[in-house]
A and B are shown apart, each in its own frame.
Chain A
Amino acid sequence: MEILVCVRRVPDTSENEIQLNSEQNDIERDDLVYSVNEWDNYAVEEALQIVGRLGGHVTVVTVGGEDDEEILRRQMAMGANHGVLLSDAAFEGSDGLGIARILAAFVKKGSYDLVLTGVQAEDGGAAVGGMLAAMLDYPFASLVNAVEVLDGARALRVSREIEGGNREISEIDLPCVLSIQTGINEPRYVGMRGIRQVASIPIPTHGAADLGLAAGAVGAAGAKVTREDYFVPPAGKGAEMLQGKRDEVVDKLVELLAAKGGLK
């Protein structure tokens, strides 16, 4: 099976304190450490396990710049066979739709049986996978937490995570796009040694012209959604200690819970 996994380099939420900068219009970007988006990592592991069982190749692709090569290499150190960078000044400022268009153009150049994305990235948009599928006219399933390749490798049986811990089981024809949920598998560890070994492998790069993309379709020019700023809604500091007799405290708490959406 030929599997393409779309990956993204994001600031690691567990190793960064996401804070506003002093101008209060963006997050503080000095001192951020980046890594591959956690969902995408699960997707790559799933792809590796599938080709491990059935044979084939895993390609990882990202839209970005030179800085983003490091995550392609990390996924190649993990076992992906190929890494591709889609990079062009014209891509900058793309919204989710733009990213999906760029990825779609790349997918159409190759012949992949399966395209995987993570459910979402740090911006929580969770839309690129679904948009990509529609652009390719492939069937789509999101929040996938189990994948089984059916005999003949022409369809998959997938489980989707739905509310209450339940799972929706469907069959989906190949080629298709899936967005992968965390916890689907246990990603293998990528050691520093492995990363050093792939440090100098060349990463092919494709630009707008290679992909046949018109300038107005992508990048800031083609964006329909733009982020204006970052801000933090005002919040209090430290716990407000509720004083009084237990009954009074309970009453106060119930009111607070109701206001915060904690009651049924």
Chain B
Amino acid sequence: MAPIFAYIEHRGGVPDDTAAELAAAARTIDATSAPTAILTGAGADLGAVAESLRASYDEVWTIGGDALAHPNAELVRAALVGALPRGSVVLVAHNHFGMDMAPGLAVRMQAAMVSDILGIEAVDGTSMRAVRQEFGGQVSAHVRCDLSAGAVVTVRPGAFKPAGGAPVNGRVVDKSSAIGAIAARRRYIETVVAEAGDVDITKHSVLVSVGRGIQDQENVALAEALAEALGAAVSCSRPVVDAKWLEKSRQVGTSGQTVKPKVYLACGISGAFQHLAGLKGSPFIVAVNKNPKAPIFQYADVGIVDDVLEFIPALTEKVRARS
């Protein structure tokens, strides 16, 4: 079995949640061999992350350099090509960075490329059977990937649960010298932070969505409190936008945004076709509505007949207490 690497993203000296998930995925591919973490960056942050990874990875390779302070996918890719042995299997999180960096890496390493896997069913020899989704999550598919020449595999964040187990005492290896000069044909300029209120609900995996049942603009604050406790965003149905309680960018529906969250809390939303059509994939839908006959209950996974104005604060309290 080829060596398995996991590319670790980090910010502010702390590894991303996906670090542990990738380790778990790596172990699913090959339970016997230990994966190697590989990360790029600069300065003290890089060191701090590498240190914290020693508990879950036997080897942690770091590639440091000022040019790599910001994760510019083009530069990272070039660095990895220099450092990774041919035929490796490289795991990357399937997110905005992974989507940017991984495909080109596969080509440069002459390896296979399989993206956004949710599960690994079996690996026999050099053939890996994995699970993916297609059509916006409406169907799942089994795919077979030939690992014989190596592979770059992007993994859906949250799909693999971090494996428990005894912490290891890995060693950090500096591979900075492995990379040569990197031509910067794509140069990072800056990051523009979204304005408060510029929340892109399509990018959130958990949404607290409010409808007419919220009854008043003031009550939107209840949903916001719950969203904050859940690390979610507040979205809504059209009537809320029409009533100008939330801005248009929060609307889910045929005339609003299409969202594909993992979890969707529909509070005081009746479940009109136009609204639900904006909800794609197979989110876990929780519906809270005081009308037991509301159509949403036919589409939800879990239903609660209750007054949202009472239920939401109760839920918020419990969530806060738990974390």
Contact = CB atoms under 8 A, between A and B. Distances in A.
- The short answer to whether A and B are in direct contact, CB under 8 Å, is yes
Interface of A: 11, 13-14, 18-20, 27, 96-97, 100, 119, 122-131, 133-135, 139-143, 157, 159-173, 176, 179, 224-233, 235-236, 238-242, 246-247, 249-251, 253-254, 256-258, 260-264
Given A165-B203, A257-B230, A261-B262, 5 more contacts: A130-B104, A228-B143, A249-B311, A256-B286, A263-B319
A233 B121 CA distance: 14
B192 to A, nearest CB: 4
A254 B103 contact: no
Interface in B75-118: 94-97, 99-108, 112-116
A130 B74 CA distance: 10
Residue in B100, B151, B277, B303 with the greatest tally of chain A CB atoms within 10 Å: B100
18 contacts: A14-B277, A18-B135, A124-B133, A130-B101, A131-B113, A134-B103, A161-B96, A163-B203, A169-B189, A169-B190, A169-B192, A170-B186, A171-B186, A225-B114, A229-B141, A253-B302, A256-B302, A262-B230
Interface stretch (B40-48, B55-63, B171-179, B193-201): B193-201
A236 B280 CA distance: 17
Nearest to B159: A261
Interface in B280-296: 280, 282, 284-287, 296
B113 A127 contact: yes
Contacts of B219: none
B282 A227 contact: no
Interface residues of B, number: 89
A170 B322 contact: no
B303 A231 contact: no
B216 to A, nearest CB: 21
B231 A224 contact: no
A228 B142 contact: yes
Given A125-B115, A163-B95, A227 B141 contact: yes
A162 B301 CA distance: 30
B99 A253 contact: no
Given A166-B191, A232-B139, A239-B302, A124 B186 contact: no
Residue in B97, B134, B187, B311 with the greatest tally of chain A CB atoms within 10 Å: B134
Given A20-B139, A231-B139, A261-B263, A240 B302 contact: yes
Contacts of B139: 18-20, 27, 230-232
A232 B139 CA distance: 5
B192 A166 contact: yes
B146 A225 contact: yes
Given A162-B191, A225-B112, A141 B186 contact: yes
A254 B322 CA distance: 9
Contact of B143 (A165, A227, A242): A227
A118 to B, nearest CB: 12
A227 B131 CA distance: 10
Given A97-B107, A159-B192, A253-B304, A140 B134 contact: no
Interface string B209-253: 000000000000000000001111000000000000000000000
B300 interface: yes
B187 A170 contact: yes
Contacts of A141: 100, 186
Contacts of A157: 189
A133 B127 CA distance: 27
Contacts of A100: 107
Contacts of B30: none
Given A230-B140, A239-B287, A250-B311, A140 B145 contact: no
A239 B296 CA distance: 9
B305 interface: yes
A226 B143 contact: yes
Contacts of B94: 126
Nearest to B100: A142
A131 B111 CA distance: 11
Contact of B141 (A129, A130, A230): A230
Contacts of A247: 314
A237 to B, nearest CB: 9
B39 interface: no
A232 B140 contact: yes
Nearest to B300: A239
A19 B140 CA distance: 11
B116 A13 contact: no
